[in-house]
Structure 1
Amino acid sequence: MPSAFLPPHQPVQIVLPDSTAIPLVCDSPHSGTDYPADFGYAVPLADLRKSEDTHVQWLWNAVPTVGGTLVHATFPRSYIDVNRHERDIDLTMLADAWPGEVAPSERCITLGNGLVFSQTTARSPIYARRLTASEVAHRIESYWRPYRHALAHLLAGAAVRGPRWHLNLHSMPSNAYERLGRVAPGPLADVVLGDLNGSSCSAIFTEMVGRAFRSRGYTVAINDPYAGQDLLREFGDPARGHESLQIELNRALYLNEQTRELLPRAQDLRDDIAGVLQDIAAHIRGVTNSHA
């Protein structure tokens, strides 16, 4: 694959198309596993790792093969979550005054999953101290902002000649409903597509991606239990032809959720995703050719 245009130690890795480029940008914001030295967490690393979308960028490695660009974070979401708004801050985490505005989300308050996580997925406090405002500001400036700027730049470039497509890539724990404090209406789907309840992506594209997974034997749900977060709100605008779709994969399909090691069947899922990407690329070429 082509080299990323940022060096390996940077917070964002970008893999450019290795075939004729199409206006497709895929990003994995939560699969980073490089834990910064200044994190200062006070829980076992294994507990923190349960919030990772471990190996998601590996599962989607065929993105450049079909002409898309693959973006992924190198740092963990528990350090700072690039899929949260920069004002999604819990002031009770801080030892001193925050200089800007804050607007903590419900998940930030109830689950401790805001811009900077305060709790593990098991609801244990991550820190035995309060963070300073300068620590949080450093994480925003050195990690959150470079990732968001890189993704925005790539999506703007993809849309120069018309519509563009954005896949926001994730994995979900097999006990997702329990983790969210919800009663499961039935078994968790293999794949959950989130389009912010129709506001970040056209129904046509959401349905097309759903068919691509179903045709390969996977169960698919729409917006249940995840409809999407801030990256879809930022970049999805189907009225302008800006399609942003979140894709959640059930971790039980490919991952030992305790050890974070790949299961033997992970390669089958990876191969199926490569096929889904071929279907998506064909759809995109069909749409872009009609606009030519």
Structure 2
Amino acid sequence: MSPFTLRRPTGPAVPLVCDSPHSGTWYPDDYRPAVPLPQLRGGEDTHVDALWGAVPAVGGTLLAAHFPRTYIDPNRSEDDLDPGLLDAPWPTPLAPGEKTRLGFGLVWRNIRAGVPIYDRKLSVAEVQARIERCWRPYHQALAGCIEQARRDSGAVWHLNLHSMPNDAYQRLQIDSPRPLADFVLGDRDGRTCEPAFVDLVERELRGFGYSVARNDPYKGVQLIERIGQPQLRRHSLQVEIRRPLYMDEATREPNEGFAPLQADLTRLLHTLAGYVRAQLAP
């Protein structure tokens, strides 16, 4: 199976590139986890690519992973790997981040705190094979879309699309006085995206009746930091959706909120495409 689906614009093209790195539901045969599939599926951003399915119709590009993030996470950099997960030293220097310490790095160690995915160490060769089979093709496809949009239009706006569990604060071991917002917009504290675009997304979502937070508890990670260079007219924003808005977290099935949310996101996409066109107008 291909590691991703890439959907090109079906309407007049705009430099709006969207990617859903965690909506994959294909579990490769060489995974060999020690926890049952229903538990593993808790790591999926199930149906996120479908929620944003109108991207091509408004002129944007939509990339969606087929493989699960617990197998290998395209939202992490290649060196964000837990050396304790391996049965031998990695051949190049590693730079594991804070979430990797919790078990959620390039290759997840835990499905949640205290629940390991494996009953074994992973070989260097099998992790390298996951990188070559899934991670690298996904990144090459995304980089190609970003560069083509920037080359054709002189600018690009990127949305990195996710969903978040209702107990996100607990999973991240954060003691928050606030309830989890319906949407969390992450721009690395203002570093990866122009403020006007973030303001527009927040204003539209609030207008639909959703609660919105910025960078709390998700700021975005290496992927948007690499793409988002506003000084070069490369804008990148992570969008997290609270899962109970559209699905049952236990069964992973869409709930009665799916269709209304999908309709709201379609309206948002039309607005964003219009904004992008206006920014490019002479």
Amino acid paired to 1:114: G
1:86 corresponds in structure 2 to: 78
SS of the residue 1:25 aligns to? strand
1:130 corresponds in structure 2 to: 121
Aligned counterparts, 1:3-22, within 5 A? 9-22=1-14
**Gaps (5+ residues) in structure 1?**
1-8
Are residue 265 (structure 1) and residue 243 (structure 2) matched? no
2:105 corresponds in structure 1 to: 114
1:248 counterpart (240, 250, 254): 240
Are residue 209 (structure 1) and residue 207 (structure 2) matched? no
Distance 1:261 1:238 in 2: 37
Relative distance call for 1:76 and 1:154 in structure 2 (3 A) is same
SS of the residue 1:264 aligns to? coil
1:223 counterpart (207, 215, 219): 215
Q: TM-score, normalised by structure 1?
A: 0.95
Are residue 33 (structure 1) and residue 25 (structure 2) matched? yes
Are residue 76 (structure 1) and residue 107 (structure 2) matched? no
Amino acid paired to 1:108: T
SS of the residue 2:111 aligns to? coil
1:102 counterpart (76, 83, 94): 94
SS of the residue 2:224 aligns to? helix
Deviations 1:140-168 (A, max 9, x none): 11110000010000000001131110000
Tell me if the contact between 1:47 and 1:121 (Cα under 8 Å) persists in the aligned partners: no
Runs of 4+ with deviation above 4 angstroms: none
RMSD over aligned Cα, in angstroms? 0.8
Are residue 150 (structure 1) and residue 158 (structure 2) matched? no
SS of the residue 1:50 aligns to? helix
Distance 1:267 1:122 in 2: 32
Amino acid paired to 1:124: V
Tell me if the contact between 1:90 and 1:114 (Cα under 8 Å) persists in the aligned partners: yes
Amino acid paired to 2:106: L
Aligned counterparts, 1:194-205, within 5 A? 194-205=186-197
Aligned-residue offset at 1:122: 4.3
Identity, in percent, stands at: 49
Distance 1:10 1:128 in 2: 28
SS of the residue 1:129 aligns to? coil
Distance 2:3 2:28 in 1: 10
Aligned-residue offset at 1:16: 0.7
SS of the residue 1:82 aligns to? coil
Amino acid paired to 2:161: L
1:3 corresponds in structure 2 to: none
Aligned counterparts, 1:42-57, within 5 A? 42-57=34-49
Distance 1:286 1:240 in 2: 18
SS of the residue 2:43 aligns to? coil
Deviations 1:57-87 (A, max 9, x none): 0000000110000001000000000111100
Are residue 284 (structure 1) and residue 270 (structure 2) matched? no
**Gaps (5+ residues) in structure 2?**
none
Aligned-residue offset at 1:97: 2.3
Q: TM-score, normalised by structure 2?
A: 0.98
Amino acid paired to 2:189: N
Distance 1:72 1:244 in 2: 16
Deviations 1:233-268 (A, max 9, x none): 110001111110000000010010011010012100
Aligned-residue offset at 1:121: 2.0
